[in-house]
Amino acid sequence: MSVQSEIQIRRTFAIISHPDAGKTTLTEKFLLYGGAIQVAGAVKSNKIKKSATSDFMEIERQRGISVATSVMSFEYEGVKVNLLDTPGHKDFAEDTYRTLTAVDSVILVIDCVKGVEEQTMRLMEVCRMRKTPVIIFINKMDRDGKDPFDLLDELEEKLKIRVRPLSWPINMGTHFKGVYSLYHKKLNLFRPGSQRVEDDVLIIEDLKDGLLDKQVGERDAKQLREDVELIEGVYHEFDRKPYLDADIAPVFFGSAINNFGVQELLETFIQISPVPQGRETDVRFVDADENKFTGFIFKIHANIDPRHRDRIAFLRVCSGHFERNSFYHHVRLDKNLRFNNPYAFLASSKDVIEEAFPGDVIGLYDTGNFKIGDTLTEGEDMMFRGIPSFSPEIFKELINMDPMKTKQLEKGIQQLTDEGVAQLFIHNNGYKKVVGAVGELQFEVIQYRLENEYGAKCRFQPIHMNKACWMTTTDKKQLDEFIRLKIDYIYFDKDQNPVYMAETGWALNVAIENHPKITFHTTSEFKTASLV
């Protein structure tokens, strides 16, 4: 098959949510439908829950949160679906942001009791910034939550996106009776505890049909008719284009744990979600259907197999045809590399693959060649954009606790920050190392991994820093002068860019006022809007 037709049968997306909204549960149900796992009712059994998700790391198992991001592929109705899992914990938000660069759309899960939560808003901000199409799944309808119309208003207001319901619930909580698919004009009746995935949907083509009253009772049938009439009156006919342009988010209701509303979601997703899209590079836009292979690394994961210190770099294929054992050009290193054992992933198992196409995510064995954002091509010199580092929120100085293990510590911190666990800033003097992270948990992970994987002991000393600012200028002299003046606050990032570590918001404002020809950026990719 040609690259063009391979693209048509692929969908690459992520499920994102505030922790506990039901992302893991929904993921499992999708895997069930895709035949990737066989056991129904999986979520109740923690064993399956753990193995179906991506907890490769010991620390993750200990804490019971999903630190790692992995890829799960399955087929549904002839479509190859690549689902990229993201860590739910907010301290690993940056990992999630990076994963979002590798997908073409997302499903956002919301808990109907809690509504839009803090992490939901931040994730949505990233989607908006990248213009990623979003489908919203309102979960836990078997609980008494907020009124569905109020939820729609809340979504529009807090997530700053127009919404369009494509399914509608009949009651909620203990009275929850089912969801009517406004898209397929089908009624799916709820049987609590049902874990079956086979198709037993009652088709009601016309809501006026008396069968509806028989099935759900007159009162609820009347309510559903009124609700649907209201929706059809208020909202425009669903149009795929504004969804693909990220202007409108279709909304579905259901209960993931009860396997309810999930099939409607998956079926509609397969039909409306975008096929693998092209990506912008620093030189030109690369279309997905170009014949030459290109791809970029969006994640590096260490120690998938704890017996070896192996690293796996996750590559998203952007265009063309990737083939095992072919040489590809590593643009940053200006080096040609060949991959004998590229992997495709299915939950925690991995298989060697011969080829891959746009939208696919493959795992490449890495012996230290890769950093996040690296681009592979068939020779063209260009780097994919949109994998920025954001200014961390917490900064701590890395203190070596065992001088005999200095080398191990250096190597470990370098490798862990290459993986994107946190950001490393090295002071101008070359000695002082500051680690910047989004949350406290990242420091714990680094400390744990440095000790367990590299045998190096460290501690972190809090320091007073407010923001890391990358700088651009129209006047090199002014920038050189600023760096000289602020030498104590100038650090270098992983790519040797100078970064001004502002101690306070006030210090940053003074710097901005006094240096009009310098622009201070809180993301490392200056064309992207600032997140913070």
| Binds ligand G4P (CB under 6 A): choice among 41, 49, 217, 457 | 49
Percent of the chain that is helix, strand, coil (3-state, to 5): 30, 30, 40
Q: Which is nearer to ligand G4P, 176 or 489 (CB)?
A: 176
HSE at residue 470, side-chain half, CA atoms within 13 A, is: 20
| Binds ligand G4P (CB under 6 A): choice among 256, 265, 362, 434 | 256
| Span of 29-37, 44-52, 304-312, 489-497 interacting with ligand G4P by CB under 6 A | 44-52
What contacts 261, CB < 8 A, 6 or more positions away?
137, 141, 167, 169, 179, 188, 252, 253, 254, 255
Say whether residue 96 binds ligand G4P (CB under 6 A): no
| Span of 249-257, 313-321, 331-339, 501-509 interacting with ligand G4P by CB under 6 A | 249-257
Stated as kind and residue range, the H or E segment containing 175 is: none
Q: Which is nearer to ligand G4P, 142 or 451 (CB)?
A: 142
| Binds ligand G4P (CB under 6 A): choice among 20, 209, 289, 310 | 20
Q: Which is nearer to ligand G4P, 87 or 276 (CB)?
A: 87
Q: Which is nearer to ligand G4P, 19 or 498 (CB)?
A: 19
The C-alpha atoms of residue 438 and residue 442 are separated, in whole angstroms, by 7
Check if the beta carbon of residue 492 is closer than 8 Å to that of residue 428: yes
Q: Which is nearer to ligand G4P, 258 or 423 (CB)?
A: 258
| Dihedral, 105, 111, 114, 117 alpha carbons, nearest 10 | -20
The C-alpha atoms of residue 420 and residue 95 are separated, in whole angstroms, by 7
Instruction: Give buried/exposed letters for 113-129 (b at 16+ CB in 10 A, else e).
Output: eebbbebbebbbbbbeb
| Binds ligand G4P (CB under 6 A): choice among 12, 17, 389, 523 | 17
Distance, first Cα to last Cα, the chain: 44
Say whether residue 19 binds ligand G4P (CB under 6 A): yes
| Span of 253-261, 480-488, 499-507, 510-518 interacting with ligand G4P by CB under 6 A | 253-261
Check if the beta carbon of residue 343 is closer than 8 Å to that of residue 312: yes
Say whether residue 115 binds ligand G4P (CB under 6 A): no
* Window 135-174: contact mask with ligand G4P (x via CB under 6 A): ----xx-xx-------------------------------
Say whether residue 441 binds ligand G4P (CB under 6 A): no
Say whether residue 332 binds ligand G4P (CB under 6 A): no
Q: Which is nearer to ligand G4P, 49 or 427 (CB)?
A: 49
| Span of 16-24, 124-132, 459-467, 509-517 interacting with ligand G4P by CB under 6 A | 16-24
Q: Which is nearer to ligand G4P, 69 or 524 (CB)?
A: 69
The C-alpha atoms of residue 370 and residue 368 are separated, in whole angstroms, by 6
The pairing of beta strand 490-492 with beta strand 423-427: antiparallel
Tokens for 171, please give them: 């009651």
Q: Which is nearer to ligand G4P, 30 or 489 (CB)?
A: 30
- Residue 173 C-beta: closest distance to ligand G4P, Å: 10
Say whether residue 114 binds ligand G4P (CB under 6 A): no
The C-alpha atoms of residue 412 and residue 303 are separated, in whole angstroms, by 13
| Span of 22-30, 208-216, 279-287, 516-524 interacting with ligand G4P by CB under 6 A | 22-30
The C-alpha atoms of residue 138 and residue 148 are separated, in whole angstroms, by 9
- Residue 446 C-beta: closest distance to ligand G4P, Å: 23
Say whether residue 55 binds ligand G4P (CB under 6 A): no
C-alpha distances (whole Å) from 306 to each of 4, 58, 257, 415, 449 are 39, 9, 32, 16, 12
The C-alpha atoms of residue 243 and residue 239 are separated, in whole angstroms, by 7
| Span of 14-22, 144-152, 347-355, 468-476 interacting with ligand G4P by CB under 6 A | 14-22
Tokens for 286, please give them: 């690369």
- Residue 353 C-beta: closest distance to ligand G4P, Å: 28
How many CB atoms within 10 Å of residue 195? 16
- Residue 172 C-beta: closest distance to ligand G4P, Å: 11
DSSP state of 113: T
| Span of 147-155, 255-263, 306-314, 436-444 interacting with ligand G4P by CB under 6 A | 255-263
Stated as kind and residue range, the H or E segment containing 449 is: helix 440-454
Stretch 368-427 residues interacting with ligand G4P (CB under 6 A)? none
| Binds ligand G4P (CB under 6 A): choice among 16, 36, 43, 170 | 43
The C-alpha atoms of residue 257 and residue 267 are separated, in whole angstroms, by 18
Q: Which is nearer to ligand G4P, 122 or 486 (CB)?
A: 122
Stated as kind and residue range, the H or E segment containing 417 is: helix 406-418
- Residue 27 C-beta: closest distance to ligand G4P, Å: 7
Classify the phi-psi angles of 109: left when phi > 0, otherwise alpha if psi is within -120 to 50, otherwise beta: beta
| Span of 39-47, 91-99, 329-337, 404-412 interacting with ligand G4P by CB under 6 A | 39-47
Check if the beta carbon of residue 113 is closer than 8 Å to that of residue 145: yes
| Span of 43-51, 92-100, 382-390, 478-486 interacting with ligand G4P by CB under 6 A | 43-51
Contact positions toward ligand G4P, by CB under 6 A? 17, 19-25, 43-44, 46, 49, 88, 139-140, 142-143, 255-258
